[in-house]
Amino acid sequence: MSDPDLFPYPASRLGQVDVGLASSLRDLVEKEVMAKRPELKEDYAQVLLPSLRKILTEIGVQRMFWPEKLGGEGHNQPSAAYTVVSALEQIGRADTGLAFLTAHNLALQAALALEGNYQEEGCSAMAPLFCEGDRPVIVSFVLPVFGEEEEAPRWRGKYLQVQAAGGKDGWVLNGKGVRPTCSGADADLFGVLCAVKDDEEPAFIAVPGDLSGLKRGKEFKKTGLAASRNAELTFDNVEVPAVNCAWRGEEGLFRLLSWYYLGLAATGVGALLAVYEIIKEWGDTRVIKGRGHIFKENPLTAALMGEIAKEIVMDRLLAYDLAGILAEPETYGDAGSEGVFVAATMIAHHVYGSADYTIHRTMELMASAGYAKEWQLERYWRDVKTVQCYLGAAELAKHDYARWFYKTKTL
């Protein structure tokens, strides 16, 4: 077990709730995920789903932001950004996929229930699903992707996958070959950014997974994130109550994505903390060049291990910096502002670029043990790469940066 304080972070910003939650999650995932991994590996039914259930319901992460009057914990101040990071680091350390799913759940809660942007109707409609009973709520998003036809509704160059018609009397949703961000096979609630017929402003609509007309395809194989069993969706005249439209326009989406990227950054840091533990053990015990040469004492390997530690330090500080930005909207602007959204996008991309680089270097140090499942490292490698792909093309994210920092007109 590593010392959680070894890699610096702004500990003084964390409240008792944050520290307690992180500690509980650490105990839980060490017992339920890490201890079972040598035997059961990434078994969805025996390890991942039961663990997710405990994270979301027993520990209560899925109730965190919702107001107490609706059965939630009411932990919905902007400073909850620190809670998100400290919690998801712990989950991500054990399993990137579990943290990835939890990040979806927390981002949706934040977008709807955050103090200062509280959505009364949306919360009243959604909170019971999260707060009543002990069923875990797996949240997934349907966001714009590359299209397959020239003329179709777009948001920032990418194509909206679902078309919504209607409005105040309810919505009817249609879309084929729809690609969700996660858990297409299992999700209980899809947050769908829809094109609205005869209207340029997209709508973000919460779609319960059991609605008539919502069909799930076969689970497809992918590089990593075993906790997310993904599948394509079909929306065939899915009727959704009007109240399920959480917002229209960009501000709400920026807020959702800013919190989502915060969660993903923390998830990546968690994976890196696990990677550190793996290479630490390797460096302490491995002998090279014959007798008596401990791996970590070799100048070349020590330099590389030092670089790995440096990347983790920087990434952790960045994730907490983003939490600081979201925690102080009066200083940095609201999470729904373009500037904060761009900063969140940059930090998430940076963390995953760094994590990808760092895990590659770690694998190279460990040679065949790096890709053997027995040593666990390869799982983080696959998972981190998968999240990086889901974050979107780095080159296109740079367009978002350019739009904000250089006020480009045509991108």
Partner 1 sequence: MRTIDDFTRPLEYISPMDGLLGSIFRDWVENEVIPYRREFDEDYLEHHLIHPPFKKLLGGYGLQRMIFPEDLGGWGMGQSNYMCGAAYRMFEEIGRADTGMAMAFGALFWPLLFIALKPHENRRLLEEFAPMFCGTTEAVFAALCMTEPQGGSDIENVEVVKGSTIQTTAVPDGDEWVINGHKIWASNTGGLAKLMAVVCTTNPGSNDPRDIAVIYVTSDTPGVTQGSPYEKAGMAADKNSDLWLENARVPLWYRAIGPGDDAKYFGEIMSTGNMGIIAWITGAMMNIYERLQDFVNLKFYRGRPLKEDDAIAGVLADFAANIEILRVIGYQSARMCDRHDLYGPLCDPGLVAKTRAQRNFATERFIECTGKVMNLMECYGADRDWDVEKHWRDAKMLQLVEGSKQLCQMEVARWFYECKTL
What DSSP designation does 294 have? B
Spell 6-17 as b/e; 16+ CB within 10 A means b.
Answer: ebebeeebbeeb
Span interacting with partner 1, options 48-56, 59-67, 68-76, 215-223, rule CB under 8 A: 215-223
Which one, of 312, 304, 281, lies nearest residue 365 by Cα?
304
Tell me the two tokens of residue 326.
Answer: 């979201």
Span interacting with partner 1, options 8-16, 59-67, 189-197, 363-371, rule CB under 8 A: 363-371
Tell me the two tokens of residue 267.
Answer: 């998830």
Span interacting with partner 1, options 91-99, 107-115, 151-159, 263-271, rule CB under 8 A: 151-159
Residues 161 to 190 in contact with partner 1, rule: CB under 8 A: 179, 181
N residues, the chain: 411
Window 279-318: contact mask with partner 1 (x via CB under 8 A): -------xxxxxx--------xx--x--------------
Q: Which is nearer to partner 1, 11 or 288 (CB)?
A: 288
Q: Which is nearer to partner 1, 112 or 257 (CB)?
A: 257
Q: Are 235 and 55 in contact (CB under 8 A)?
A: no
Which one, of 181, 159, 194, lies nearest residue 396 by Cα?
159
Q: How far is 365 from 278, CA to CA, in rounded Å?
A: 11
Q: Are 136 and 105 in contact (CB under 8 A)?
A: no
In the complex, the smallest distance separating the C-beta of residue 384 from partner 1, rounded to whole angstroms, is 11
Burial bucket for residue 54 (CB in 10 Å: 0-12, 13-18, 19+): buried
Candidates 3, 5, 134, 151: give the one binding partner 1 (CB under 8 A).
151
Furthest-apart CA atoms within the chain: distance in Å: 77
**Residue 409, interface with partner 1 (CB under 8 A)?**
no
Residues 371 to 400 in contact with partner 1, rule: CB under 8 A: 371-374, 378, 381-382, 385-386, 388-390, 392-396, 398-399
Window 28-67: contact mask with partner 1 (x via CB under 8 A): ----------------------------------------
**Residue 155, interface with partner 1 (CB under 8 A)?**
no
What DSSP designation does 160 have? P
In the complex, the smallest distance separating the C-beta of residue 123 from partner 1, rounded to whole angstroms, is 29
**Residue 337, interface with partner 1 (CB under 8 A)?**
no
The DSSP result for 113-133, as a single string, is: H-TTS--HHHHHHHHHHHHSS
Q: Which is nearer to partner 1, 59 or 294 (CB)?
A: 294
What DSSP designation does 65 have? S
Query: Where does this chain bind partner 1 (CB under 8 A)?
Result: 145-151, 154, 157-159, 179, 181, 220-224, 286-291, 300-301, 304, 356, 360, 363-374, 378, 381-382, 385-386, 388-390, 392-396, 398-399
